[in-house]
Amino acid sequence: MEIRVDSSGKLFEEAELKVVGIFQKDDAKSKKIPDIKEKELKTLFQSLKSSHTFGASLGERFFLNNTNGDSYLLIGLGNKKALSSEVLRKQVAAFIKSHLASAKSLAIDLDSFFSTQFERNANAVIEGALLSDYKFDKYKTSSQEQNLKEVSLKTTKKNASQLSKIVKNALPMIESMKLARDYATEVPNFLNSVKYASLVEQDVKKNLKGVKVKILNKADIKKERMELFLSVNAGSAYEPRLVHLTYTPKKKTRKMKHIALVGKGITFDTGGYSLKPSASIMGMKYDMAGSSTVYGAFRAAVLQGAPHKLTCIMAITDNAVSSKATFPDSVIKTRNGKTVEILNTDAEGRLALADALDYTCDLKPDVIFDAATLTGACLVALGDEVCGLMSNDESLVKSIKKAAQARDEYIWELPIVPEFRDHIKSKVADIKNIGKPMRAGTAVAGAFLQEFIKNGISWAHFDIAGVANNQDHLPYCTPGTASALMVRTMVEYIHNA
Ligand code: BES
Ligand code: MG
Ligand code: ZN
């Protein structure tokens, strides 16, 4: 689907369907009546016998045709004061979704949808429109044709050039989010570690000019002494991969920071010998969503010409069962020299990440973000809707929360208190890979990761176990596919860092 800026109103005139946002008028005491600005449309509307059925409450829709053959869709936006960019994103996604199969072209009267915060709201409309047609149907032998090819946004001549800039900036973001969704939604019999790394390499070479690619294979990973990461791979039929990408901005400024993004890339998590029961093993193809999230964020930030040096690290393997898989009770030496007792092979994400984080610290970044579908406990604590955040730096948390708010994503901080260190003390090794049963599982996993962050580096951990998929409540996500949530928050942070 293509988006076009319509500064003359010509596309609006020609479109098969014209969409106009209508707010409720609150001055009519008890009866809510719609506030239709455009005179001709208002006259037409009032001439209809059925007009009393439409009150412009949020999400309400009303179709009407005039005698020239023009079709209008009125979208109720409710109370103007309650409107937010997320409400817009959802409303736009919802009506676009219901017209994907029918109309070829759809024209939105942008200025009827909001009158404040042009950049934020216009961006939300664009995201709502372009994210909503995402589908993953490569394995369907027949699928429904999408007719809707063009969405135009009508605005004033004065706003048009700003709108074009907003579109130009939004496109790489949306494209990168859709690619991240594709990777995470891919099935595990196709997307093994080797395949995944090579797909990423191809994408970088094709689309991210100037980005350095290094892919560590099993021998390289051994040389790096990443025994903990290798222990997760021990049962796999495929070699592990560590993808290492580097972007350096063309213009170097004194304010330039080095931000590293690290992702858990478990292409399938069986649990290993601590095997998951059938009900919880389903959906474990998404266990590499941390890596697709950080890749999506890296990709979007690079394409938008981010002003900071960026590193992207993806620790990729599956967690399989075989005679070679790691036994629970094993003790493994990590890259940083500590020993870890592996009491549960299903707590594998933190093992892969521990070595990857230690490796990343050696690159001396100012900030590290890691993203991982790390704990089921995160779903218990925060649901499918909210991303868990843990960090060693209060001011970093502040900036991340600000970024999340600006991009309408939900994030909530969980504390890592010093006492959690005691939860992961081992009797035979330095630490163990699980805490106490039913006790702060998400934050204790965060405490485990923190053991691998070297002094002076600001770090934040995003537990995306809930938000990575199952976002059926968001019309700009597609049921049965990954969400790519948190990509926008990370990119927003990078631009403001
Ligand atoms: N990949 C899972 C976490 C997960 C669970 C993500 C459900 C999405 C939905 C992770 O590797 C895992 O299995 N964690 C264990 C940790 C436990 C053994 C300490 C868990 O949450 O049960
Ligand atoms: Mg697991
Ligand atoms: Zn996992």
Query: For 195-209, how does the pLDDT look when each residue is reduced to its tens digit (9 = 90+)?
Result: 999 999 999 999 999
List 25, 120, 135, 276, catalytic entry = 276
For residue 29, what pLDDT is reported? 54
Q: For residue 296, what is the domain's CATH number?
A: 3.40.630.10
380-389 residue pLDDT tens: 999 999 999 9
Q: Which of 155, 182, 207 is the last residue of a domain?
A: 155
From atom 17 of ligand 1, which residue's Cα is the shortest distance away?
A: 347
- pTM comes to 0.97
471 CA → ligand 3 middle, Å: 19
pLDDT at 367: 98
What gap in Å lies between CA 295 and CA 302, rounded to an integer?
A: 10
Is 161 contained in some domain? no
Residue 269 beta carbon below 6 angstroms from any ligand 1 atom: yes
Domain assignment present for 420: yes
Task: Determine the distance separating the centroid of ligand 1 and the alpha carbon of 46, expressed in angstroms.
Answer: 57
For 73-128, the pLDDT digits (tens) are 999 999 999 999 999 999 999 999 999 988 899 999 999 999 999 999 999 999 99
Q: Quick one: 249 and 339 in the same domain?
A: yes
Same domain, 199 and 341: yes
376 Cα: distance to centroid of ligand 1 (angstroms): 5
> Minimum-distance ligand to the CA of 344?
1
Predicted local distance difference test score (pLDDT) of residue 103:
86
Indicate if ligand 1 lies below 6 Å from the C-beta of 265: no
Q: Is 295 left (phi over 0), alpha (psi -120 to 50) or beta?
A: alpha
Structurally, how many domains does the chain consist of? Answer: 2
Contact 302 CB / ligand 1 (< 6 Å):
no
Q: H helices within 407-483, ranges in order?
A: 420-423, 441-450
In this structure, the answer to whether residues 225 and 312 fall within a common structural domain is yes
374 neighbors 357 (Cβ within 8 angstroms): no
Q: Can you give the residue range of the structural domain that contains 211?
A: 171-496
Which of 267, 344, 345, 346 for a ligand 1 pocket mutation test, highest count of atoms within 8 Å of Cβ?
346
Task: Output the CA 488–ligand 3 centroid distance in Å.
Answer: 23
If residue 164 lies in a helix (H) or strand (E), which one and from where to where? helix 157-185
User: Alpha-carbon Rg of the chain, whole angstroms?
Assistant: 25
Per-residue pLDDT, 27:
63
Verify whether residue 439 is a known catalytic residue.
no
3-state helix, strand, coil split of the chain in percent (to 5) is: 40, 20, 40
- Residues 242-280 as b or e (16 or more Cβ within 10 Å = b): bbbbbbeeeeeeeebebbbbbbbbbbbbbbbbbebeeee
Q: Residue 73: phi, psi to the nearest 5?
A: -120, 115
d(C-alpha 481, C-alpha 13), whole Å: 36
Q: Which of 109, 128, 155 lies at the terminal end of a domain, its last residue?
A: 155
CA atoms 331, 267, 300, 413: torsion sign = negative
Is residue 209 annotated as part of the catalytic site, yes or no? no
Residues 127 and 191 in one domain: no
Give 281-286 contacts, CB < 8 A, sequence gap 24+.
Answer: 283/469, 284/188, 285/184, 285/185, 285/186, 285/187, 285/188, 285/191, 286/184, 286/185, 286/373, 286/468, 286/469, 286/482
Instruction: Give the whole-number percent of the chain exceeding pLDDT 70.
Output: 99
Note the pLDDT of residue 72: 97
Report residues of the chain scoring pLDDT below 50: none
State the pLDDT at residue 143. 85
